[in-house]
Amino acid sequence: MGIPLIGERIPEFEAVTTKGVIKFPDDFKGKWVVLFSHPADFTPVCTTEFVAFQKRFDEFQKLNTELVGLSIDQVFSHIKWVEWIKDKLGVEIKFPVIADDRGKIAEMLGMIHPAKGTNTVRAVFIIDPKGILRAVLYYPQELGRNMDEILRMVKGFQVIDENGVALPANWPNNELVNDEAIVPPASTVKDAEQRTKEYECFDWWFCHKKLNNK
């Protein structure tokens, strides 16, 4: 079985974490999940990422979204590292961190890229409440992630699902339609003719509308 692709169900696994044993994704049924890997504990870039994720923890929670970290380290290392972050930086890490010390989960999910070494790259998997993989991001070890983009993606998927729309580049600050959404394409000639009467349009195939629940 290959690595999971967008639109597929995320593979099931059981894992030891800093919050106890979890069954994934069953323990998170009904919630959105941001599952992310980091190369190693006690490293500078990863430390900045954990602080950045935790600083946005409440924002993710408001979106019914759980954060789950992962690296190829033992749980004892994770525990000491999150203790260090709390003691030295004053930030308590409230989300679980998977101890994938044998690398089996990372390998299954395609988080190890051999050309970049034997540890995990900075992978991000956004998973919806039905356990379906909605997006995948890969960052190299040397570049930290943009957590605000990950937060924007979760918000965007929820708007898309609730309204049956698409969202433009840089939403909600798009250069052409601002915070509006893209209306799905017409499926018949009659629909196409009606589009410009029902919505604001650049043409029949490029129409947009305001959202009431941004």
- Catalytic residue numbers, as ranges: 46
Please state, in angstroms and as integers, the Cα–Cα distance from residue 210 to each residue in 83, 165, 196, following that order.
Answer: 46, 11, 15
User: How open is the CA angle 101-147-124, to the nearest 5 degrees?
Assistant: 40
User: What three-state secondary structure class fits 68?
Assistant: strand
Supply 212's token pair. Answer: 């009431």
Q: How many residues make up the chain in this entry?
A: 214
Residue type, 85: I
CA atoms of 35 and 66, how far apart (whole Å): 8
49 closest CA partner among 57, 59, 128:
57
The SS3 assignment for 28 reads: helix
Report helix, strand or coil for 36.
Answer: strand
Q: Which two tokens stand for residue 187?
A: 């499926």
> Which residues are paired to 132 by β-bridges?
9
Q: Residue 56, annotated ligand binder?
A: no
65-71/32-37 β-pairing? parallel
Instruction: List the binding residues for substrate.
Output: 122
* Positions at the binding site: 122
